[in-house]
Structure 1
Amino acid sequence: MRKFMTKALATAALLAMTAGAQAKETVVWWDFLSGGDGVRMKALLDEFNKTHPDIEIQATTLEWGVPFYTKVQTSAAVGEGPDVMTYHLSRLPLGVDSGVLREISPDELKAAGIEAGNYQPANWKAAQVDGKQYAVPFDIHSVVLYYNKDLLKKAGLLGDDGLPKGLDGLENFDAALQKLKDGGTDYGVSIHSATGDSQWRIFYSLLGQQGGEFLKDGKILDGDNLDKAVNAAAAVAKWTTSGWAPKQVDYPASVALFTSGKAAMHINGVWEVPTMVDLAKQGKLGFEWGAIQLPTLFAQPATWADSHAFAIPNRKGKEISPEKLKAVLAVIKWMNENSLSWATAGHIPAFLPVADSAEFKKMEPNATYSTLAKTAVFDPSSKIAGVASPVYDAAGNYLVPAINGEKDPKEAMTEMQEELQGLLDD
């Protein structure tokens, strides 16, 4: 009898252990995050796994850009790939058009406690295609204006609050650039002038500041939008041809011009905030710095923006189970609720309770430029737009020569319009 009881207890214990093991849901995760973003995401993933005994995230980091999205598409087509992945919102239309992304229904979001009202409105809308939800936003990342407080103060362009003054309006901004050059600064502003992606971000901001629309009703730069595009390209071309900004400068050099004090200002993504913070801490910057929303050079404030987001692949023949979906949405919800540390990479949290928190409001310069979230302009919702897209390629082929004074801005914008319209009409 004792042997029987011992055996029964052992069997029960084994069954309990097996049930416990089965209850733990594994979530396969893919991302494209490297550098500072990668370090911060790894910390979040480790913390989640440490605090959630019922869910284990198994994470893999792949190469950013075309390689990532190509692998996602090919794996989903054969029923393989992750349960959840990072995704740029600007790529959603292409992902939906190619059948890569699974819709997340309103009922599924509601059951997970993910509510639209808790997210930046522009983010949430950009996570939709044709009114259907295909992702949950994680942040807003945009271009901002970095500035050297010492050089701006010397030129009379710094207010008592430590913020730049006199930069709004294209004529005022140009005059400020000339004033900085006259004062002995090599460049008033440093820009990454050699590649299409960086120039697209500046161009799209200035187009938005004129109320322009790059794509409307299936037409590229239709009507007076072409004139507004020419205005945007010509504005930046004047910076380089006047010697206020460097021509044909690659990315590392554009950053170095600012960090070395040779450029008084620098237009770049918020992702360079950690670079400035680290250099300042190490005593290698040599000046006080700050970052603000892009000045309003035309009629209204607008800044190009994109978002890292979380999406679920549409795996052919191997759809996600209800149990796995529940775990995935729990991961997404937790990531947003704990996104304050993610913001230290320069990002603006998409999750409003974090963005509105006292802790984030003390985080500088993020808190200062977070105003741009209200006037952010996301890439056109189109299968030819977004990260590593034909639009970005066209920016490299036409916009870059225009802003470097190698091509007439009107000719360049007309050629870009014609090429991209041809792709849409095919």
Structure 2
Amino acid sequence: MKKKLLSVLLAGTMLLSMGVNVFAEETAKDSNVNEDGTVNNPEDVKVDKNKLVMWSLFTGGDGEYISKIIDDYNAGSPTKQVQPITLVWADYYTKLQTAVAADKGPDIGLSHASKLAELVDQGVVEPLDDYLDELGVDLSSMYSENSLDAVTFDGEIYAIPLDTHAEVFYYNTDILEKAGIELNSDGKLDIKSEDQFMDMLDKVKAVMGDGESPISLTNTGDDPYRVWWATYYQMGGTPIVNDDGTEVTLDKDIAVKAADFVKTLYDNGYIASGIDDHQKLFQAGKAGFMFTGTWAVGAMEQTEGLNFGVQSFPQLFDQDHCWADSHTFILPVKGERSEEDTKAAVEFMVSASENGGLTWAESGQIPANKNVLDNDEYKKLPYRGNYMDELEKAVLPSKNPHFYAMKDGMIQSLDAIWTGSEDVESGIDNLYDELSSNLD
């Protein structure tokens, strides 16, 4: 598969609307920066030796907010400024792991919590405890126990939590009005069962035209997998693997039922065939509903003419659960980095999560830092309160060093179901086998 292009951010600049930044334009000849501001090889980017280098996986709308966080940090006369280089996340982890192995990695990185166990297991990241102690930082007063547990391995902290990002439910209020669907007094949809949900889908389907879809959702990939994940746990599904990561504990019967439910959405015409970019379709006002993550809220708010709402993933079955993950700041292993620079890197990570947390919340993500969550300015942001309960209802992936390989196998097996190349039972059998093949 042809690689996606990579983008570069430079402190003191902001991503432009087309994803091109000043730094990218200035360094195009040196680092093979393409017209959209992306690079193929981050190691070829010219870096300022007086700055800490950060590799990021945030592009698009997210990239604008992380860029602002870094700009604000650099403007505050920190111990050492930060120069970010942004990689598309399809290549991010491979390049990070390869660079660290060659002792050519960045000073600061980012990781999903679901990937962190693998990075710790492979020795890609350093523990932070000693540096936090030197800085006098007590994370227990800043983050929830769940957030800290997700970044703690064998009693040591390996990352600074940035957010929780979850699969949520978007709706086009103009289309709902046309379909005769009313919002409650809180401006949300009252969905308490599968039947209520299907009734709304039927009403929206009745007013859809050519090129439109009741639900905007891709036909393959991460988002339908996340819908299946939420459905599986709402139906009472057991953990996919045990805590030790040595045994598959997936309930195959419930996994089949959950997959059958999601497939029904495709088979009954609630999701149009061939949707590659479901966010773009929803932004164009051509879908009544959309399943995707919290990270799209900021982009939706900036879409002219789009009247929408967003709320937690609806409870369709007995239990109220959803899919979620978390972004974290990490300290990649780097032999040539001085102790002073390492401490400065940790100093940035803590500040970016706390002092930059409100800026990050503007993207739609749920900040991890408790002080940000309690901030009156955060509480005044529209929509965010509609899905805050996902912090409680989310089922996060287990701390398993093989989870990413497991996830890839699960998505491939589920894609075969959605596209009709496998029946539901055979697809879940394959999913189970993929899980088993990735255990120790």
Range of TM-score over shorter length: 0.7 to 0.9
Residue from 395, 403, 413 that aligns with 2:418? 403
How far the C-alpha of 1:141 sits from its partner, in A, is: 1.4
Q: Residue 349 of structure 2 corresponds to which residue in structure 1?
A: 332
Q: Residue 164 of structure 2 corresponds to which residue in structure 1?
A: 140
- Where do residues 323-362 of structure 1 align in structure 2 (5 Å cutoff)? 323-338=340-355, 339-362=357-380
Distance 1:211 1:418 in 2: 21
Q: Is the 8 A contact 2:245 2:400 kept in 1?
A: no
Residue from 226, 237, 241 that aligns with 2:252? 226
Q: Is the 8 A contact 1:25 1:54 kept in 2?
A: no
How far the C-alpha of 1:157 sits from its partner, in A, is: 4.2
Distance 1:322 1:309 in 2: 21
Distance 2:284 2:186 in 1: 24
Bigger Rg, structure 1 or 2: 1
- Where do residues 18-417 of structure 1 align in structure 2 (5 Å cutoff)? 26-65=51-90, 67-105=91-129, 108-109=132-133, 111-153=135-177, 154-165=179-190, 167-184=191-208, 187-195=213-221, 197-212=222-237, 213-216=239-242, 217-218=244-245, 221-222=248-249, 225-250=251-276, 252=277, 254-280=278-304, 283=305, 285=306, 288-315=307-334, 318=335, 320-338=337-355, 339-385=357-403, 389-417=404-432
5+ residue gaps in structure 2? 1-48
Distance 1:109 1:305 in 2: 30
SS of alignment partner, residue 303 of structure 2: helix
SS of alignment partner, residue 267 of structure 1: strand
Q: Is the 8 A contact 2:208 2:214 kept in 1?
A: no
User: Which 4+ residue blocks in structure 1 deviate beyond 6 angstroms?
Assistant: none
Q: Is the 8 A contact 2:160 2:353 kept in 1?
A: no
Q: Is the 8 A contact 2:231 2:317 kept in 1?
A: yes
Identity of aligned residues (%): 31
Distance 1:362 1:134 in 2: 32
SS of alignment partner, residue 93 of structure 2: helix
Q: 1:189 to 1:313 in 2, by over 3 A?
A: same
- Provide, for residues 145-168 of structure 1, a one-character-per-residue CA deviation record: whole Å limited to 9, x for no partner: 001123334433422332111x22
Superposition CA RMSD, Å: 2.4
TM-score, normalising length from structure 1? 0.83
Q: Is the 8 A contact 1:114 1:333 kept in 2?
A: no
Higher helix content, 1 or 2: 1
Distance 1:375 1:68 in 2: 29
How far the C-alpha of 1:261 sits from its partner, in A, is: 3.6
My pick for the range that moved more, 228-237 or 100-109, is: 100-109
TM-score, normalising length from structure 2? 0.81
**Paired residues, what number?**
386
Q: Residue 419 of structure 1 corresponds to which residue in structure 2?
A: 434
How far the C-alpha of 1:411 sits from its partner, in A, is: 1.6
The one-letter code of the counterpart of 1:238 is T
Q: 1:97 to 1:257 in 2, by over 3 A?
A: same
Q: Which gives a bigger RCO, structure 1 or 2 (Cα 8 Å, sep 6+)?
A: 1
5+ residue gaps in structure 1? 1-23
Q: Is the 8 A contact 1:241 1:405 kept in 2?
A: no
Distance 1:46 1:409 in 2: 49
Q: Is the 8 A contact 2:410 2:434 kept in 1?
A: no
How far the C-alpha of 1:354 sits from its partner, in A, is: 0.6
